[in-house]
Structure 1
Amino acid sequence: MDSSSSLLTVDQRIIELEAEISATRFAKRWIVAWITLGNPLLIGAIVAGNLLIDFSKPGSGRSALNTLGPIAVIISIVVSVLFWNAARTYEREKSVELLQAQAERRSLEVTTTPEAATSQPFQEYYRSIPDLRDEYRRSAERYRGRHNLFQLTVIVGSILTSVSTTAAAEQGIWSWIAVGLSALVSISAGVIAYFKFRERSLNLQQTADSIDLEMQAYSLRIRRYRSLSPDEAPAAFAEEVERIREEQRKKELQLEQPPEAVPQQRHQPL
């Protein structure tokens, strides 16, 4: 098997591992959502049952609710934690395999990519770019997950707050539940507005995609590299990647600025 075929095989393996890791992380997010939201809802249902159900009627025994309910909650907590731990272990194993495959790919790239005939510093620089791109993508995924979690909290909390406010007319404890849920919604909305997880995720994903496109253009000698000599292409590639990284740093600094600072800068006199 020649070097190009080996590189293609490694690339396919990397794609498969990334897909498995992505699916595992998606499953972990649902498990965490159930741990943080599903189990409290079960506990809330038991509490609401004790408050709202008239146990003086025949066939509505309080002991059945308070026996089967806690058992269901305990089973749910134990099973969800076990599933989360199994998913985390599987993700770690696949992450190690992915790192090994990426290291193998970098070793194959030394002889199969255009930078093989360039200087040693540029070879090291070029081999570091895939790791940089993947780090941007991982960071984008982390911020996306945080945004989705807090946004889900706002949506579910808003619905439960409305329900609790309606029920508070008959049961006094629901007014306290409504207050707590309202505070949780306000805190989550404040965290989303302050940390700007969605904007950070979008910027990082765009930066990773730009670096990936630049790597493909350099490898295929297309776009800006079509008319460049073998000595000029590496310098042009490095300059473009550094420009993309600089833009990403500027975007991060802009997100750190308070919202009221932007209009003031725009209206400064010339």
Structure 2
Amino acid sequence: MSGLTDVPREPVPETAGSYEPWVGDVLHHLAYGDQRLSEADIDTPLPEEFMLTWEGVAAILSAARKTDKKELDWTLSVEITRRLRYASDSAYIFHRKYGTPDRYKRYVRLENLFTAESDSTWGDLVEEVIGTLKDPKQEYGWRLEPAQQHEYANSVITYRREVATAERSIRRALLSRWLRLVPLVVIPLVLAVLGWGNLWPEDVPDPRTFNIVTIAVVLVLVVVFLVGFFLRVKDKEHGVRSVFLLRRDLEIIHDRWILNASKTRPTRERRNGYREHIPRVIDRLRRDTRFYRRIHNWFQWGVFFASVGTTATTAFWETPQPGKTILIVLGSFLAFATAVTGYFKFRERAYNLQQTADQVEQHATAFDLGIAPYADADAAVNLERFAENVETLRMEQRKREQQLEQPHQGQADVI
């Protein structure tokens, strides 16, 4: 007996017991080509020149639907759509539950999914097809699973709600700080003026009215301080929250969102969402354009009226007063408005933003209509090209903003 143990044993052949229980049931309902298979064919090798086609994949799915196995119920939602106009070795694979074919999805080639070996059996083929199509995370056109979609949507809503709450708390904390800081600075000055008026009443025309006004101002400042005190941001766990801590919490929210978002959505899904985000980018650019243009127009109208007022004052008032005072005020405003508009360049900023908004909108319209430069047959290529062009325009806009911040010599060097 001990000698027999030294003899090398033959490898145990693969039997039907090594397959999943449902493989035999699928073979029982499988009609492949001109032959009808059975459970006994589970260990039968594939023909020598066997080639898996999409019709074969569809036949295996059809046979799986005919079984009463609960683990194969998912096959009811899977469909194979042939790419009729092009090569026959590529097709759409989509799932009614996980996603449907759209213009952003690419046709799938057979060699990208299945690798039938020469010694494979019918059981191996059925297991490989079912096992591959069962996983919705494969890169053959499906989107995120419903649970992941629901989880991602909830994470977006939660993130935006937390950011809005944190920003509102920061604004409230800033308002509370200023409402407490201003009275603390002004009240001593008002009290000093009140003491001066009472110590030297001969310098005050009406001491009674002076005292009433100053006391009323002090009371208003006290009320403002109390309002700021009650507006402080409080937390049950940490007590009063300062502006620094609230801003740190906001940064933590942003960092946590970046980490979660990088693990949740594939690149294709982020590109699809990027296209839907473009209208908001255009609206923001146009809103900033209106803001800078409005400031520029107000300063220009002020310069016009100040220029006209200076000329009119010089012509109508021969005496030094009050014409001299008016001329001083108008001249100071002219110098201030000219310096501000020349330094901040509101008109140039508005022009650059308007130009970028028009160009981005032009690309978005061309992408939606499928015209040049987005007339490629593959929609994924168009989407990638669209994202690259829009980001290039936004980068150029940021460069122009940087040039406006530099002095003339620096602008010449950059240009």
Scaled to the shorter chain, the TM-score interval is 0.5 to 0.7
Q: 1:264 to 1:226 in 2, by over 3 A?
A: closer
Question: 1:261: how far off?
Answer: 2.7
Question: 1:227: how far off?
Answer: 3.1
Aligned partner of 1:262: which letter?
Q
TM-score, normalised to structure 2, is: 0.35
Question: 1:202: how far off?
Answer: 0.5
Residue in structure 2 matched with residue 261 of structure 1 by the alignment: 410
Say whether residues 1:205 and 2:205 are aligned partners.
no
Question: 1:164: how far off?
Answer: 1.2
Residue in structure 1 matched with residue 150 of structure 2 by the alignment: none
Residue in structure 1 matched with residue 379 of structure 2 by the alignment: 230
Say whether residues 1:196 and 2:345 are aligned partners.
yes
The answer to which structure has the higher strand fraction is: 2
**Distance of 1:242 and 1:264 partners within structure 2:** 24
Aligned partner of 1:224: which letter?
P
Question: 1:162: how far off?
Answer: 1.2
Counterpart contact for 2:367–2:374, Cα < 8 Å? yes
Residue in structure 2 matched with residue 137 of structure 1 by the alignment: 286
Question: 1:166: how far off?
Answer: 2.3
Say whether residues 1:150 and 2:266 are aligned partners.
no
Q: Which runs of 5+ in 2 are unaligned?
A: 1-266
Pairwise CA RMSD: 1.7
Aligned partner of 1:150: which letter?
F
**Distance of 1:124 and 1:220 partners within structure 2:** 18
Question: 1:228: how far off?
Answer: 4.7
Question: 1:176: how far off?
Answer: 1.2
Match of 2:313 among 151, 164, 188: 164
**Distance of 1:230 and 1:177 partners within structure 2:** 66
Aligned partner of 1:132: which letter?
V
**Distance of 2:396 and 2:357 partners within structure 1:** 12
Residue in structure 1 matched with residue 370 of structure 2 by the alignment: 221
Aligned partner of 2:402: which letter?
L
**Distance of 2:402 and 2:335 partners within structure 1:** 26
Match of 2:396 among 210, 232, 247: 247
Aligned partner of 2:404: which letter?
L
**Distance of 1:132 and 1:231 partners within structure 2:** 21
Match of 1:183 among 316, 326, 332: 332
Identical aligned residues as a percent: 36
Q: Which structure: larger Rg?
A: 2
Q: Secondary structure at the match of 1:223?
A: coil
Structure with bigger RCO (C-alpha 8 Å, 6+ apart):
1
Equivalent residue pairs, number: 149
Question: 1:204: how far off?
Answer: 0.3
**Distance of 2:348 and 2:388 partners within structure 1:** 26
Aligned partner of 1:160: which letter?
G
**Distance of 1:179 and 1:167 partners within structure 2:** 15
Q: Secondary structure at the match of 2:282?
A: helix
Q: Which runs of 5+ in 1 are unaligned?
A: 1-117
Q: Deviations over 1:110-169 (max 9, x none)?
A: xxxxxxxx9321121111111011000000000000000000000110110111122342
Q: Secondary structure at the match of 1:209?
A: helix
Aligned partner of 2:383: which letter?
P
Q: Secondary structure at the match of 1:231?
A: helix
The answer to which structure has the higher helix fraction is: 1
Question: 1:264: how far off?
Answer: 5.8
In the TM superposition, structure 1's runs of 4+ consecutive aligned residues that sit over 6 Å from their partners are none
Counterpart contact for 2:404–2:411, Cα < 8 Å? no
Q: Deviations over 1:220-244 (max 9, x none)?
A: 1101111352221111000000000
Q: Secondary structure at the match of 2:373?
A: helix
**Distance of 1:163 and 1:248 partners within structure 2:** 43
